[in-house]
Amino acid sequence: MKLRLLLWVVFWLLSLQGNTQRMLLLEIRNEVKSVKFGEGSEITFKTKDNPDEWQTRVIKNIDADQGIIVFEDGMVYVSEISRFRTINRTAWAASRMFSVFGGVWLLYGTVAIATGQDSVKPGHLIIGGVALGIGWLFNKFAVKRTYRIGENAHLRLLNIDFSPPPAKRGVLP
């Protein structure tokens, strides 16, 4: 009985902690799901004021009512963001894997040919070159994806608040 009461109190206290969700949604044209970025997420964007510089920052707070994203070193209005970039971490890892494999294979083959080992032929270096090429292609075409806000994507701030509304004095429910 005491354990049940203790668990109930713990779950009740934990439910008080997570009563609000604030997030930035990237809505992409012709895609059903939106990409969500919460507080603590890293985003990369360009602003209308500074269109030549990509800024990568970590979201500290989101104020959906005023349309502001707050960072550690400043803030930006969502309406000021002109371009947004997402990074595919899986493609990034594959690109690095192929690049490292290709580089090591080329190094090993070059050293083996230079020392005169008969087991390695110059044709074997093609494997390393192909792996480097695949890594470069992944990095060039699959890792980064850039969206133009207003043309092929939209940004939206969302504030989901689960807390009860404030009680009015003198009014009974």
Q: Are residues 39 and 28 in the same domain?
A: yes
Q: Are residues 111 and 29 in the same domain?
A: no
Q: Does some domain include residue 41?
A: yes
Range of the domain at 107: 90-140
Q: Are residues 61 and 105 in the same domain?
A: no
pTM over 0.75: no
The number of domains in the chain is 2
Convert the pLDDT of each residue in 81-128 to its tens digit. Answer: 999 999 999 999 999 999 999 999 999 999 988 898 878 888 889 999
Q: How confident is the model at residue 3 (pLDDT cuts 50, 70, 90)?
A: confident
Output the DSSP codes for 97-156: HHHHHHHHHHHHHHHHHHTT-TT--GGGHHHHHHHHHHHHHHHHHTSEEEEEBTTTEEEE
Query: Out of 15-24, 70-79, 143-152, 163-172, which region has the weakest mean confidence (pLDDT)?
Result: 163-172
Q: Are residues 125 and 148 in the same domain?
A: no
The predicted pLDDT at position 40 comes to 92
Q: Are residues 70 and 148 in the same domain?
A: yes
Instruction: Check pLDDT > 70 for residue 37.
Output: yes
Q: Are residues 69 and 105 in the same domain?
A: no
Contact 152, 28 (CB under 8 A): yes
DSSP annotation of 173 reads -
Convert the pLDDT of each residue in 11-27 to its tens digit. Answer: 766 665 555 688 999 99
Q: Are residues 27 and 77 in the same domain?
A: yes
Q: Are residues 136 and 115 in the same domain?
A: yes
